[in-house]
Amino acid sequence: MTKRIRKAVFPVAGLGTRFLPATKAIPKEMLTVVDRPVIQHVVDEARAAGIEHFIFVTGRGKAVIEDHFDINFELDRTLSERGKTRELEGLRRDLPAAGATSFTRQQAPLGLGHAVWCARDIVGDEPFAVLLPDMLHLGREPCLAGMIRGYEAHGGNLIGVFEVPDSETHQYGIVGVRDEKGAQAITEMVEKPAKGTAPSNLAVSGRYILSPEIFRILETQERGAGGEIQLTDAMITLARSQPFFAHTFAGEIYDTGTKLGFLMANVAYGLRREDVGPSMRVELDKLMGR
């Protein structure tokens, strides 16, 4: 019987240098897509998938993320006194339950694998999810919800993937797959393969379900690309003893760590909103017609 996925890790220690000067004093995860911080969108995905405990791996200057997921008594009182019931109820809906969030520091920028390893004592001996906050997944079903359903069906470790043009595979981590009783078993993982050498066009989307054995591998993992401890290297090692499966996300993915991806996410999420979508569409038509 597989253990239930209850915990999710969010690596949020990155500096966000591509968005300077906006990120000089504001964490990149707190930049807003419409009116919600990027990290809130990703936490929403996790909550919709049934995650109960949210683990944030932070760094210096990221205390505002912790504040965001806490009660602001002064703000709540002001909203109540001014009769802004809708806004107050929205803040309360977004607030995780008491004790449902944990924060730990990645004291040095040693890579994604190291960031995940920093959460080892909070995760404990159970499978867990990892969600990269830069990657927003927009679709009918939350990506992580589909991955958990796959995990419950066949167990193992899972990696979220999406299809990219063959001409772009060299820009991503790519997995090779084979069909195995209706599931996509991963046969290989390659980080940014040279043009023409990719085993498929399935790119890693920043969503993972991993067994706790990954922590023991990460503890002694040598530094890889960029002099960092790479999660991909540890997963390749783990794949020698445990199965990995791919979950193909059937929606749109926006890399908010890039300027273009961030701008397009604002457009896509804005157009889906009932309060601003119709007016936004009119304004975009005017802009495109100029």
The string of pLDDT tens digits covering residues 43-78 is: 999 999 999 999 999 988 889 999 999 999 999 899
Q: How far apart are CA 147 and CA 157, in angstroms?
A: 10
**Per-residue pLDDT band at 1 (split at 50, 70, 90):** low
**Per-residue pLDDT band at 14 (split at 50, 70, 90):** confident
Decide which of 129 and 172 is more confident.
Answer: 129
Q: Look at residue 249 and tell me whether its pLDDT is greater than 90.
A: yes
What's this model's pTM, rounded to 2 decimal places? 0.92
124 part of a folded domain? yes
1 part of a folded domain? no
What is the pLDDT, as a whole number, of residue 275? Answer: 92
What is the pLDDT, as a whole number, of residue 216? Answer: 94
- Of all residues in the chain, the percent with pLDDT exceeding 70 is 99
Q: Look at residue 27 and tell me whether its pLDDT is greater than 80.
A: yes
Q: Report the 10 Å Cβ neighbour count for 36.
A: 14
185 part of a folded domain? yes
Mean pLDDT of 220-238: 85
Q: How far apart are CA 275 and CA 278, in angstroms?
A: 8
The string of pLDDT tens digits covering residues 153-171 is: 989 999 999 999 988 898 8
75 part of a folded domain? yes
What is the pLDDT, as a whole number, of residue 28? Answer: 93
2 part of a folded domain? no
What is the pLDDT, as a whole number, of residue 109? Answer: 82
Q: Looking at this protein, which amino acid is placed at residue 28? A: K
For all residues of the chain together, what is the average pLDDT?
91
Answer yes or no: are the C-beta atoms of 202 and 162 closer than 8 Å: yes
Q: What is the domain range of residue 171?
A: 7-289
Number of domains in the chain: 1
Whether residue 109 is preceded by a cis peptide bond, meaning omega within 30 degrees of 0, is no
What is the pLDDT, as a whole number, of residue 125? Answer: 94
177 part of a folded domain? yes
Mean pLDDT of 194-207: 91
Answer yes or no: are the C-beta atoms of 116 and 18 closer than 8 Å: no
The domain spanning residue 81 has which CATH number?
A: 3.90.550.10
Q: Look at residue 290 and tell me whether its pLDDT is greater than 70.
A: no
E-assigned strand segments in the chain: 7-11, 32-33, 36-37, 53-58, 101-105, 128-131, 135-138, 157-163, 173-180, 183-191, 202-210, 244-248, 252-255
Q: Look at residue 224 and tell me whether its pLDDT is greater than 80.
A: no
The string of pLDDT tens digits covering residues 97-144 is: 889 999 999 988 888 999 999 999 999 999 999 999 999 999 989 999
- Of all residues in the chain, the percent with pLDDT exceeding 90 is 67
